[in-house]
Amino acid sequence: MKERDPNVRFQSKYAMKHTSGGYQYAFYCAYCDFHYTSGWIRAGSAEEAYDLAEKEAKREFNGCHSCGKWVCGDHYNMGEMMCLKCAPLIMEMSI
């Protein structure tokens, strides 16, 4: 069994906007359009802003403890703490 790392690095798809007002990041589920958009962040650098935005966004996503991808609730297997690609849910009513 793999060790579960609470600090799995965020590997979500993201987009960044930068204006004079600061930086804004949008993070996306690895498998669908679900996303979280951070507020405008004033920071010295894009990296610094990213770290802050990531902290906010992490609350809205679930990290897969196998592949490290961040996914929405619909693409997460809570029991296994993995994404549905790594731990597919068995659909009992699939007929």
- Please name the residues in contact with 2: beta carbons below 8 A apart, sequence gap of 6 or more: 65, 66
In this complex, which beta carbon is closest to Zn ion, that of residue 43 or of residue 67?
67
Q: State phi, psi for 13 to the nearest 5 degrees.
A: -70, 145
Max Cα–Cα distance, the chain, nearest Å: 55
Options 5-13, 14-22, 23-31, 55-63: segment touching Zn ion (CB under 5 A): 23-31
Options 4-12, 16-24, 32-40, 55-63: segment touching Zn ion (CB under 5 A): 32-40
| Binding site residues, Zn ion, CB under 5 A | 29, 31-32, 34, 64, 66-67, 72, 74-75, 83, 86
